[in-house]
Amino acid sequence: MRARIRAARTRPAGAARHGRRTRLRSRWWPVIAAKLAGERGAVGVVVLAVGLLVLAISIGAIGMLAAFPARQAAQAAADAGALAAADVASGYLDGEPCAEAGRVVEANGASLEECATDGREAVVRVRVESGPFVFSESSRAGPPPEREDVRRSRQHLEAFRFSQPVHRPARPYNGRRRVATAPTSLRPAGIAVRKHADPSKERLCQAATHWSSSSRRPK
């Protein structure tokens, strides 16, 4: 008895549990192995199905990532075509709006499906093909809306431009004379010359050109 107690005290910790675990594993392992051997074909089918599912998801994700730039290119082509058509419709460029839109859309690698103009606005729809995917995008362009104060200022400016011209009254003669100094050799004939004590400071008296005919002539 004492020998058993001494052996139990000297046995390392966990040895009993380890031995029990070993006995349980040895007891259940043949049963588990037999069941797995009977279902080996079903497990292979499940593994094959999971592999095919993962492969399909990967192919779809790669296709979507490759088609995303094509969609962005379709939207960019639609915007560029709508802006070009709106510029022609507004009079900034010469030509036909839809023809200009088609030229710009083809330059961006897309095909024009629809083009319509309403005044100075244009609506364009384009199409881009990328493998099995087909993207169709539309865009509208036109001049920006004017603010109320800008619109009123423009109306006042047009009304002032097309109104009757304003007749300003003639500037009356105020009694002064425009005087210019000129040498004797360059004096025109028939112009009165004021004499001074110094002959070199003779001054030429002449009426201003902006005076009206109703003003009093200078003496």
- Per domain, the residue ranges of the chain are 177-207
With a cut of 70, say whether residue 138 has pLDDT above it: yes
Cβ atoms within 10 Å of 22's Cβ, excluding its own: 10
Cβ atoms within 10 Å of 128's Cβ, excluding its own: 25
Q: What does the pLDDT average to over 159-176?
A: 58
Query: What was the pLDDT predicted at 192?
Result: 46
Where do the DSSP E strands lie in the chain?
A: 111-118, 121-130, 133-141, 178-181, 193-194, 203-206
Q: What would the pLDDT profile of 74-129 be if each residue is shown by its tens digit? A: 999 999 999 999 988 888 888 899 999 999 999 998 999 999 998 888 999 999 98
Query: For tokens 């994700």, what's the residue?
Result: 61
pTM over 0.85: no
CA distance 100 to 84: 6
Tell me the range of 11-20, 106-115, 137-146 where mean pLDDT is highest. 106-115
Where do the DSSP E strands lie in 75-159?
A: 111-118, 121-130, 133-141
Torsion of CA 73, 74, 79, 85, to 10 degrees: 120
**What is the share, in percent, of the chain residues with pLDDT greater than 70?**
47
Least Cα distance to 101 among 123, 120, 119, 118 occurs for 123
